[in-house]
Amino acid sequence: METTINETLRKNQLSVTDSRKKILELFLQTQGALAHSDVEKQTGTLFDRVTIYRTLQTFVEKGIIHTIPTADNSVKYALCIDECTEGHHHDNHVHFVCDECNTTFCLTHVQIPSVKLPGGFTGKQTDVIISGICSRCGNQ
């Protein structure tokens, strides 16, 4: 896995630092999305809040992770599955939030439908969040 992490960082012209390696490793090992606080909890005292925030922002800018809005106006982050590049995200999929376990999943096979906007409006991003019970919680 370390080879994949180092390759991803180098491919995106990023220095290979301990914080970037550890945070990217968390995303690779996690099913679902992570909030800043999740990353903080899982890295313990290794990195301060600012380092984590800057790393997440850099990963978003480079197209390594994408943001997912939440009902409480915070943000979660998930790995980009598509070939996103710096400044160009192509994560045009639905996100699902489980009401039981509170996990946010990227449903990459469910595309966001095209929305016809009125004249004079130009869309930049469309977010579709579906809440309900995930397959893990529903099969208990």
pLDDT tens-digit readout, 113-131:
888 999 999 988 788 899 9
Give CA torsion, residues 22, 137, 90, 9, to 10 deg: 10
pLDDT for 103-115, tens place per residue?
999 888 888 888 8
CB–CB of 36/52 below 8 Å? Answer: yes
- Alpha-carbon gap, residue 84 to 67, rounded angstroms: 13
Counting DSSP H helices and E strands in the chain, the numbers are: 5, 6
pLDDT band at residue 90, thresholds of 50, 70 and 90? low
